[in-house]
Structures are given as structure tokens and as C-alpha cells.
């Protein structure tokens, strides 16, 4: 048995390739709540300084959506490729 196969077997046995559903649920909720909060603050604020900081935060959350879309595109979130592809299309369309 070559070393790559041994490493692959060891990684799977250690559980490093298990899908982290709770992580993605939390990460997605945190990200989309952050986006909604940024939009609401930006729309209802009269302070230019607050709006600038809100746009910086909005940029951060858009990047997080990109990370979610990246994981979905690599079929890392769901077992089903169809679900991964469907939600990756949604994620990528939100930040384009």
C-alpha cells in the first residue's frame, strides 16, 4: 500500500472528512443575519461615518457568502451534488 492511500485511510478513520452540518447552519445564519443588519443600518442611518463602517461590514459578509459558495461548489456541505449545486447557484448569484 502506498503512502497516499495510507494517509487517505488515516484521515477518513480520524473523522476529518465528516460533514459539519451544524457549522454550516451557524455560519450561514450568522452571515445572512449580518447582511440583513447591514442593509437595515445603511438604509435607516443618517450618519455618514456609520454608513461607511456598515459598508465595510457588508463587504465582510459578502466575502463570507463567497466562502459558503466555494464550499458548496466543491460538494463539501451536502452529500447530494444536486443540493450543493442548487445552493451554490444561490450563493454565487447573491454576491455577483
pLDDT, tens only, 23-58:
999 999 999 999 999 999 999 999 999 999 999 999
- Which grid coordinates are listed for 55? 459598508
State the virtual CA torsion across 31, 35, 36, 37 in degrees, nearest 10.
100
Q: Are 70 and 95 in contact (CB under 8 A)?
A: no
Rounded to the nearest integer, the mean pLDDT of the chain is 92
Quick one: pLDDT at residue 1? Answer: 56
Percent of the chain with pLDDT over 70: 99
Phi-psi region of 75 (alpha: psi -120 to 50; beta: other; left: phi over 0): left
Closest listed residue to residue 35, CA positions, set 78, 76, 66: 66
- Distance between CA atoms of 6 and 67, rounded to whole angstroms? 30
Amino acid at each position: 500500500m502506498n503512502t497516499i492511500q495510507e494517509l487517505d485511510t488515516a484521515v477518513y478513520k480520524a473523522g476529518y472528512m465528516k460533514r459539519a452540518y451544524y457549522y454550516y447552519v451557524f455560519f450561514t445564519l450568522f452571515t445572512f443575519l449580518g447582511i440583513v443588519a447591514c442593509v437595515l443600518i445603511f438604509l435607516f442611518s443618517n450618519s455618514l461615518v456609520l454608513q461607511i463602517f456598515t459598508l465595510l461590514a457588508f463587504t465582510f459578509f459578502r466575502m463570507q457568502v463567497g466562502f459558503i459558495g466555494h464550499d458548496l461548489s466543491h460538494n463539501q456541505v451536502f452529500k447530494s451534488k444536486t443540493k450543493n449545486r442548487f445552493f451554490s447557484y444561490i450563493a454565487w448569484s447573491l454576491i455577483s
